[in-house]
Amino acid sequence: MHNSIVFYGGNTPGKRYGNKNNSTFRHTMNLQYRDALPDDLPEIVAIYNTTIAGRMVTADTSPVTVESRLSWYNAHDPAHRPLWMISAGRQTVGWMSFQSFYGRPAYDATAEVSIYLAENARGKGFGKDVLQYAITVAPQYGIKTLLGFIFAHNAPSLKLFMGMGFEEWAHLPEIAILDGVERSLKILGYKIK
């Protein structure tokens, strides 16, 4: 899974509280974050697959399967590169992950942040809250630099990231072909202070 975010904004992060099924929960004003469990993978994949048809968020061109995402899921480590489920009350809002940037030791303090929101959670102010949470907790995972890989035509995500202080660090012109249309990719970066 690749590209970085789907939508917009909300509140500021708070504190860690308790656990559920040995999976840590974290709380913001309206959202709860917990480490994803293997049983969450079908929901993670379902949310991800809802973004494919729009051709703005991911370079996948057809739905992915749970089986095809197992190695991706297993690459996440709650202590270093977490994958969280995000909920508001009892309803799943989406998921967020930190992924290593390049797989070489010198880049260990750099991670890509990916945020995918459920269809019914988009446009309701959650994206800003989730991205702020990512910025706030990143140092706990040894992360000093966050990256977002966003298609140049994904105006909502670019607006969100740039509104949160991310800057354009690279523009890769026409490197993806989606339905016969060449699309550019922007790499946005944020140095944790």
Residue 37 lies in a domain: yes
Residue 174 lies in a domain: no
- The total number of structural domains in the chain stands at 1
pLDDT at residue 19 in the model: 34
Pick from 103, 148, 106, 151: nearest CA to 127: 148
The domain that holds 123 is classified in CATH as 3.40.630.30
Helix, strand and coil percent figures for the chain, each rounded to 5: 25, 40, 35
Residue 160 lies in a domain: no
Look up residue 5 and give its amino acid: I
Residue 167 lies in a domain: no
Q: In whole angstroms, how far apart are CA 117 and each of 4, 43, 129, 133, 147? A: 11, 11, 12, 14, 18
pLDDT at residue 13 in the model: 35
Domain ranges, residue 75: 13-148
CA atoms within 13 A on the CB side of 191: 2
**Spatial separation of the C-alpha atoms in residues 168 and 162, rounded to whole Å:** 8
* pLDDT tens track, the chain, 193 positions: 433 333 323 333 333 323 333 344 444 448 999 999 999 999 999 999 999 999 999 999 999 999 999 999 999 999 999 999 999 999 999 999 999 999 899 999 999 999 999 999 998 889 999 999 999 999 999 999 999 999 999 999 999 999 999 999 999 999 999 999 999 999 999 999 8
Residue 187 lies in a domain: no
**Spatial separation of the C-alpha atoms in residues 72 and 132, rounded to whole Å:** 24
Residue 74 lies in a domain: yes
Residue 54 lies in a domain: yes
CB 87 within 8 A of CB 117: no
pLDDT at residue 193 in the model: 85
pLDDT at residue 124 in the model: 87
Residue 79 lies in a domain: yes
Name the DSSP letter for residue 50. T
